[in-house]
Homo-oligomer: A and B are copies of this chain.
Amino acid sequence: MEKAITLSEKAPPAKPARSNRKVENREDKTRVRLSQQVIISTAADLFARNGFGATSLDDIGEALGVTKGALYYHIKNKEEILKLIFMTVLAVSEEPLRQIARAEIPPADKLNRAIAHHSAVAADRSPAMQVFYREDVHLTGPFAREIAARKKAYERLFEEIIEEGIRLGQFRQDIDPKIAAFGILGMCNWLSQWYRPGRAYNPQQIASFFSQLAEFGLVLQDEK
């Protein structure tokens, strides 16, 4: 039962002076307690920056000051981390939009609020949102289908708001609601690609620009 002989004999387990690790850990401030929450949060950052496939569990462990083995006490496997990130995004985005869609206010106001809501999610949860829209190809099986369905339902709410506006004669009749919904969603989603906190504008201001754009457009009407 010979072991495979590799070329580079790694430094054999020379029982390195134990507890030299503890020193390192203590010095980098109070170590954050490991949990699903911090794992998926850290993982979302890394996935957003380097991609799901290019981020190893070693990377995640290193970012947390822990060996990758420790991660397995809190999560089932790598894909579950991804799944949890997707669930996080849906958890903060679905219900508020549903409430906006069924509120009893003019369609233009609904659109305003929907844009504000979605922009806020895209900006505040930027890493998770980037993962949500870039790494969906790595989901498999029933969960992948569920995410796709809920994503579509979410988009459909935007569509319905626009349909309502058209039906009530408040929105232009010559624009396809599905295309318009995709356009507006694309506008907001793109936020997560370029927005970084602490820049010139905050998410609310950006959302207000987007609302102006979506409602009235850029071109100055000769009003009156």
Bound form: Cα–Cα A218–B134 in Å: 29
Q: Which residues, 156 to 201 on A, are CB-close (under 8 Å) to B? A: 162, 165, 169-172, 174-176, 179-180, 182-191, 193-194, 200-201
Query: Which chain B positions have C-beta within 8 A of A5?
Result: 2, 4-5
Total copies of the chain: 2
The residues of B that contact A188 with a CB separation of less than 8 Å are 186
> Does any Cβ of B come within 8 Å of A105's Cβ?
no
B194 lies within 8 A of A187 (CB): no
* A108 / chain B contacts, CB cutoff of 8 Å: 218-219
Residue interface bits A5-17, CB-to-B below 8 A is 1, else 0: 1110000000000
Interface locus among A18-26, A48-56, A64-72, A93-101: A48-56
Q: Which residue of B lies closest to A177 (CB)?
A: B218
